[in-house]
Structures are given as structure tokens and as C-alpha cells.
Amino acid sequence: MAGLPGPKSDINLFREQYKGFDPKQKFNGDKGYVGEPSVKTPYKKPRNQELTPEQKQKNKELSSSRIFVEHLIRLVKIFRVAQERFRLKPQKYEQIIFTICGLVRLRIGTLIL
């Protein structure tokens, strides 16, 4: 399923979908996923303190590996169907979002026709 109506946080969606993955599977996430054992997250700056240079370096490495995914999310959001209220029939949403994802894949060159 591509989406459900109404707001839902990323962490709750992840927890629901995680059951379908191998328990040994590891994921990269942002600071919203802190506390999930299977998600590698960046270090948060402690209150009234600074991160160590090693923690800053690890955060930089993690962000450089995640930037590709963030750019893909931006490309999907250009079509505005994933970020605004969907005004067509709800049954059409999955078909349209998959079409948009196919167009994005075609644009970045990963779709082979």
C-alpha cells in the first residue's frame, strides 16, 4: 500500500512495516528514529554541551550516505501529490504515487525500459 489518509508519524509507519523485514536488517534514519534498535541515527547534541569531534565525524558520514535518499524524496515532492491534500478519488492515490515514483526513477536513470 502506498499511503493512507490522515497524518501519521514516520516512526509509527516504520514500526508497523518493520514486521515485514528480516530482524537482522539495519536501517539509516534521522534524529526522529532515536531509540529504535535497528536504526542507525546521528548523535544528538547533549543539553549545554558539544559533540565530540568523533561524534561529529560519524554524523557527517551518516548524513553523506543519507543524502541520496533525501534528494529522491525532494524529487517526489516536486509533484506535490505526496505533500498536499489528495483531491482525486482515494482509490487512485496508489496508482498516481507509483507513476510518480516511476517518473522519478526514469529521470535519475534507474528505470530500464
Residue 46 falls within a domain, yes or no?
Answer: no
Query: pLDDT value at position 49?
Result: 92
Residues 86/4, Cβ–Cβ less than 8 Å: no
The number of domains in the chain is 2
Determine the number of helices (DSSP H) and then strands (DSSP E) in the chain: 3, 2
For residue 97, tell me if it sits in a domain: yes
Q: Which of 39-43, 46-50, 104-108 has the lowest mean pLDDT?
A: 104-108
Looking only at the bridges linking them, the beta strands covering 27-28 and 39-40 are parallel
Q: Taking the model in full, what pTM does it have?
A: 0.61
Same domain flag for 37 and 89: no
Instruction: Report yes or no: 80 and 112 within 8 Å, Cβ to Cβ.
Output: no
**pLDDT tens digits for range 73-109:** 788 777 777 666 767 777 787 788 788 888 888 888 7
Considering the domain boundaries, does residue 102 fall inside one?
Answer: yes
Residue 106 lies in a domain: yes
**Domain that residue 36 falls in:** 10-41
Is a pLDDT exceeding 70 seen at residue 34?
Answer: yes
